[in-house]
Structure 1
Amino acid sequence: MPKNIKIQINSAILAWAREEAGYTPGEIAKKLKVPTDRYLQWESDEQAIPLGMLKQIAKDYKRQLAVFLLPAPPPKTKKPRDFRNLAISQEGLSPHIMLAIRRANKYIAMAGEILGKPYWGDQYQWQTEINQFKISDTGKFNEDLIEWLRTKLKITINDQKNFRGTADAFRKWRNSLERELGIFIFQFDMPQSEVDGFCYAEDDPPYAIVINKNIAHARKIFTLFHELAHIIRHQSGICQAEVSADEQGIEFECNDFAGKFLVPDSEIIQIAGLEELTTIAREYNVSREVYLRRNLERELISRTDFFSLLEDVRKVPKTPSSKKTGYASPLIKSKSTRGNKFYNLVINAVCENKIDYLSASDVLGLGYSYIAAHE
């Protein structure tokens, strides 16, 4: 067999795969250790590519090799609207974010196919119930909607205050949103500087919220409800929820919703300083910035004192999502990434012969033995 086998492919597929992976021609050429001009020839001239190089490209683009042998490019992945600030959004979507978007698309598409439209229509009846709560002309969410949602999620303020820290709070909120609203909550590895999370909600359900697994748990919780606000508005969006400083527009409205849901007006008291702020924020399992902003909204603190205290809050290094030392099994990692709802849906589908072991292994990131153990 010749050592330097070359493969003829449709160059449009190569360009499609690169764009879907979030790379520029220069970035991928650097990873492949080839001149950019040479790589661009493969995308434009339908020049045969060495098999070894094509395998490396498939690995970098997180695609199966067979994809590059298709006669034409598949449809492009539908991306959520980018609500991040201009300085960040102009840089585009990095490979980490593009991979997260592709995975979320794949997971919710599979869930939709497995259970079908009638099932998801019933699961999302709450959307019809929400229509009774009108969003104001200024874009503010109805206060009654927030109260209704708390009842729907079956978590009272006292329950929230009794959570054992923000990690436990995030798990409880996540499970409640999945169970009561049918929204999948995924956690993927994404750069902290680029995104807090994103959501899908424009087409037929099911919908999904994707959280950056690297951010602090308090920030994850706020992002959950920021993204839920987008879903209530029937919007898909990519966001940096807590860093939005804009006091107008959709992002402000979604921040306003998240803050009022997590800390209702009746729970706000005037804070005297950083120590008290820290204590109260911990009591409600929210970030200090969230509680501080709620003080400002209730006019319990002057803007001068607010910005002074906010500066003190931000001087303290941000706490990333805690990473436990020791071994975490593939099963634990799979459930943490995909959530109990999606994990159980896939396992049940295998047991009911709706999907095969290979498909389940692919979407759950687990070997055959883990899947077979449920038989």
Structure 2
Amino acid sequence: MRLKTSQFIFAREYRGLSQTDVSKKIKGLSQSNLSKFEKGFDVLSESVIESLIALLNFPKNFFYKEINIDIEIAHYRKKSGLSKQIKTALESNNKFLGHLVDKLNEAVDYPEFSLRPLDPEEYSPEDIAKHTRSLLGLNKKEPVVDIFNKIEKSGIVVIEFDDVTEKFDGVSFLSGNGTPVIIINKNFSNDRKRFTLAHELGHILMHITGGFPVPMHRTEKQKEDEANRFASEFLMPELGIKNSLVNLKLYDLATLKKYWRTSKQAIMRRAKDLNCITDNTYRYLMIELSRLGERKVEKTLVDIDCPVIFERAYRLHVDELKYSIEDFCQCFSLPEDAIKKYLNFEDRSKLRVLV
């Protein structure tokens, strides 16, 4: 087997090292030679390769694998606010978690992906959301109660992760084996998580899994707008919410939030988009929310359900297949610190995985 230069790039970026950092730490390796090696234009001596593997502290067999997660088609919520360094770290997280999704799937079957992708060139995001709600067995007029349970049963793996910047809301992509994956920021409020999850579900159905041709006129901004429209209809169906939004007042928001389990700001925007309030009323409500100190953190809390499938896959490996940390490292070709970081179900303050 041949060494995969892409794996060296992956490991280096995970360790937060630049090419210059690495070349300074390894005798006989220049930044120029490392750059050429990573691009496949040059070879390194066996001793330099051994030093490089030791520095990166990954199992040697990792560098003969091919972790093929196509980050280019990953859809981030609010990606524009992320620096290049943060994006690189997030992409490393995505690749690791996608790899773990696939490795656990080798011994445990996830639910089959049962939702139907639809082309937003032919159907509106609202119609796609209505169709998706129907496939999930949701009432046309009622809120989504057990949102994680509904999503995990449809065959989408969702990971709630807290070792991440507050500028990151969520991302969706396909694992190397084609499993739809959503990662969301654990640190946010439940209503924000629910909207992010619905937003990324929209990306999966409209922009990731269908293989639909994307015309040049459809920009990333338009895709984000489509995902937001999908999420609004998915969480707050027009048939169920519109009547209660007519002439919306500030004191209505807390009650509506508890029922629909969405943020007050999302409800206000929904009222505006459904022409239940004027633009002036919308601006007034936003000003009042700011005055009350609720633009960033809203006072009314909503509940959220607990997912189970992905953690059960991990538990099966530990409890029934008797995997130790060392076994995970060997079988998954990953270093111990990565296994502990991404499969740390014992310490819920670090990672909780949802499907």
TM-score range, shorter chain: 0.5 to 0.7
State the Cα deviation string for residues 236-293 of structure 1 (Å, max 9, x = none). 8xxxxxxxxx996111011001001111112122244322223312221101111111
Is the 2:257–2:267 Cα contact (8 Å) retained in structure 1? yes
1:286 corresponds to 2:265: no
CA change 1:91–1:139 in 2 (3 A) is farther
Counterparts of 1:247 and 1:25 in 2: how far apart (Å)?
A: 31
Residue 344 of structure 2 corresponds to: 365
Counterparts of 1:311 and 1:304 in 2: how far apart (Å)?
A: 11
Q: 1:347 aligns with which of 305, 312, 315?
A: 315
Q: Write the letter of the residue equivalent to 1:102.
A: K
Residue 201 of structure 1 corresponds to: 174
Counterparts of 1:206 and 1:111 in 2: how far apart (Å)?
A: 12
1:302 corresponds to 2:294: no
Is the 2:253–2:264 Cα contact (8 Å) retained in structure 1? yes
Residue 121 of structure 2 corresponds to: 137
Is the 1:22–1:94 Cα contact (8 Å) retained in structure 2? no
Residue 332 of structure 1 corresponds to: none
Counterparts of 1:320 and 1:91 in 2: how far apart (Å)?
A: 30
Partner secondary structure for residue 84 of structure 2: coil
Q: How does 1:176-195 map to 2 (within 5 A)?
A: 176-179=150-153, 181-195=154-168
State the Cα deviation string for residues 336-358 of structure 1 (Å, max 9, x = none). 7xx511121233356664x8444
CA change 1:39–1:208 in 2 (3 A) is same
Is the 2:173–2:181 Cα contact (8 Å) retained in structure 1? yes
Q: 2:296 aligns with which of 303, 314, 318?
A: 318
CA change 1:320–1:54 in 2 (3 A) is farther
Counterparts of 2:51 and 2:120 in 1: how far apart (Å)?
A: 58
State the Cα deviation string for residues 212-254 of structure 1 (Å, max 9, x = none). 1111110100011111111112518xxxxxxxxx996111011
Partner secondary structure for residue 297 of structure 2: coil
Larger mean Cα displacement after TM superposition, 197-206 or 213-222: 197-206
Q: Write the letter of the residue equivalent to 1:281.
A: K
Partner secondary structure for residue 103 of structure 1: helix
Partner secondary structure for residue 158 of structure 2: strand
TM-score by length of 2: 0.66
Counterparts of 1:302 and 1:231 in 2: how far apart (Å)?
A: 32
Gaps of 5+ in 1: 1-8, 162-168, 237-245, 323-335, 368-375
Is the 2:246–2:276 Cα contact (8 Å) retained in structure 1? yes
Q: CA deviation at 1:364?
A: 3.2
1:217 corresponds to 2:163: no
State the Cα deviation string for residues 125-176 of structure 1 (Å, max 9, x = none). x24xx36xx5453762253x43443344345478748xxxxxxx5xx21122
Q: 1:174 aligns with which of 148, 158, 178?
A: 148
Q: Write the letter of the residue equivalent to 2:308.
A: N
Q: 1:97 aligns with which of 57, 72, 90?
A: 90
State the Cα deviation string for residues 35-84 of structure 1 (Å, max 9, x = none). xxx995895696978x99987x54xxxx536469x5x7855653143555
- The structure whose RCO (Cα within 8 Å, separation 6+) is larger is 2
Residue 13 of structure 2 corresponds to: 19
CA change 1:226–1:40 in 2 (3 A) is same
Q: CA deviation at 1:200?
A: 1.8
Identity within the alignment, %: 19
Counterparts of 2:298 and 2:162 in 1: how far apart (Å)?
A: 12
Q: Write the letter of the residue equivalent to 2:313.
A: L
Query: Alignment length, in residue pairs?
Result: 303
Q: CA deviation at 1:182?
A: 1.5
- Greater helix percent: which structure? 1
Is the 1:350–1:360 Cα contact (8 Å) retained in structure 2? no
- Root-mean-square deviation over aligned CA pairs: 4.5
Residue 81 of structure 2 corresponds to: 88
Q: 1:232 aligns with which of 196, 205, 218?
A: 205
Is the 1:199–1:210 Cα contact (8 Å) retained in structure 2? yes
Partner secondary structure for residue 198 of structure 1: strand
Is the 2:184–2:197 Cα contact (8 Å) retained in structure 1? yes
Counterparts of 1:320 and 1:214 in 2: how far apart (Å)?
A: 14
Q: Write the letter of the residue equivalent to 2:344.
A: G
Q: Write the letter of the residue equivalent to 2:343.
A: L
Counterparts of 2:222 and 2:82 in 1: how far apart (Å)?
A: 16
Counterparts of 2:101 and 2:273 in 1: how far apart (Å)?
A: 37
Larger mean Cα displacement after TM superposition, 10-19 or 250-259: 10-19
Partner secondary structure for residue 114 of structure 1: coil
Counterparts of 1:356 and 1:300 in 2: how far apart (Å)?
A: 56
Residue 70 of structure 2 corresponds to: 78
